[in-house]
Amino acid sequence: MHKLALVYSDAQGRSSDRTVWPLGSFFWGAVWTLVAWCEKRQAFRSFRLDRIQSMTGLTETFKLSDGQRLMDYLRQHGVDPQALAEGR
């Protein structure tokens, strides 16, 4: 999987450059977000798609380890990935 380079604006309009490992895109009822592992923060982050100023696919790839996968993100947010997969 390939890394992405983002220029992202926060809620106050401040821009930051991020290199992220994309995990998924989700609609939360009002906005779409990109869930990713952020190299700058060394943690999961959700980026609102409407605040991404630019996005570039990089040639550099990444390999997820325990604690960096989508199922780890879901568990951190109280979602059972197995139950989700089974439609429960």
Look up the pTM and report it.
Answer: 0.86
**pLDDT tier for residue 84 given thresholds of 50, 70 and 90:** low
User: Range of 44's domain?
Assistant: 2-85
CA 2, distance to chain mean position in Å, is: 13
Bridge-based pairing of strands 43-48 and 15-27 is unpaired
**pLDDT tens figures, 6-46:** 999 999 999 999 999 999 999 988 999 999 999 999 999 99
User: By three-state DSSP, how is residue 42 classified?
Assistant: coil
Name the residue with tokens 């609609």: 27
Instruction: Indicate the number of domains in the chain.
Output: 1
